[in-house]
Amino acid sequence: MDLTLLVLAAGMGSRYGGLKQLDQVGPSGETIIDYSVYDAIEAGFNKIVFIIRKDIEKDMKELLFDKYSKKIKIEYVFQELNKIPEGVELPADRVKPWGTGHAVLMAKDIINEPFVVINADDFYGKSAFKVVANYMQSKQDNLKGKNCMAGYLLKNTLSEYGQVSRGVCEVNDQNELVEITERTKIGWKNGKIVTDNDGNDLELNGDVYVSMNFWGFTPDVFSELEAEFIKFIDENASDIKSEYYIPSIVSHQMNNSLATFKVLEATDQWFGVTYKEDKPLVINKINELTHTGEYPEKLWK
């Protein structure tokens, strides 16, 4: 079965302070994207689509795409502010990108098969790619609306250097997603995990599943994604900083019984470079995985 990896790589990394998609963290100069692509190929993906900006096209192609194309089919599309459905008016003062939901929509004309969405700057680990790929492939005879996500324990996804935002998940007895709540300003405080709740600290359970933007979708999502994005612009045109996030379409599909989302536990620890101070930790963890034989010293030979 065809299975595509959709990599969201258009962001600049405002908190990080640079283009972290191309930051080298591996022993032979590998980027985090390198490891995601490597793990995806091992898990059985056969195409990768990147969402990028035009101003980073040259760097992405020279440093990443050319070497990947020897191993797997590569395509890329641009996320641009004015790439919106026909007939929708662009707010005159809008300068901020439309968010991850809009980014996924950019690929609707080149993806006709089940696909998995990830962030370019997150290290997910092998288990996430394997469990999601296996699930999508096992549903190939009756796939429509059989979506999924890789779930990580909240306590394993925090940064030591600042607060983060996470989609906190509620699941049923079948480990299907029931509700996802976006929580902001999550971090450690006096040995507890807390989030901001109208100016007060709200303690969170570290053993709940959270979404790290690792979603498996069937291609029928694109028509719903576009319809809901049109509604989003209509309702939020006056808010020039509003963004259309992937959990919005997930909630829409669940609330309208259009799809189910199986939560598949990723047993590897997630880590990422939200802040520049996170980079040494990421380098150390990748070195550890290399020394234990999880990855070769040089990924792309």
Q: Which residues contact 286 (CB under 8 A, 6 or more apart)?
A: 25, 26, 27, 30, 35, 123, 295
The CATH number of domain 4-291, selected from 3.40.630.40, 3.40.47.10, 3.30.70.1380, 3.90.550.10: 3.90.550.10
Q: Which pTM value belongs to this model?
A: 0.91
- Per-residue pLDDT tens digits of the chain, which is 301 residues long: 899 999 999 874 444 345 666 788 999 999 999 999 999 999 999 999 999 988 888 888 888 899 999 999 999 999 988 888 888 888 888 888 889 999 999 999 999 999 999 999 899 999 999 999 999 988 655 567 789 999 999 998 887 778 888 889 999 999 999 999 888 899 998 889 999 888 889 999 999 999 999 999 999 999 999 999 999 988 987 888 889 999 899 999 999 999 999 999 998 889 887 777 888 989 999 999 999 999 999 998 7
Q: Which residues contact 151 (CB under 8 A, 6 or more apart)?
A: 169, 171, 209, 210, 211, 263, 264, 265, 266
Strand-pair partners of 210:
152, 168
Per-residue model confidence (pLDDT) at position 116? 97
Per-residue model confidence (pLDDT) at position 184? 86
**Cα–Cα dist 42/61, whole Å:** 22
Per-residue model confidence (pLDDT) at position 93? 83
Residue 216: Cβ-neighbour burial (10 angstroms; 0-12, 13-18, 19+): buried
* Encoded amino acid at 177, one letter: L
Per-residue model confidence (pLDDT) at position 59? 86
Per-residue model confidence (pLDDT) at position 85? 85
What is the per-residue DSSP string for 144-196? TTEEEEEEEEGGGS--SSS-EEEEEEEE-TTSBEEEEEEEEEEEEETTEEEEE
Per-residue model confidence (pLDDT) at position 13? 44
Helix (H) or strand (E) run with residue 272 in it: strand 271-272
Per-residue model confidence (pLDDT) at position 150? 97
Contact indicator for 263, 151 with CB cutoff of 8 Å: yes
Q: Beta 192-197 vs 177-189: how paired, if at all?
A: antiparallel
Per-residue model confidence (pLDDT) at position 200? 87
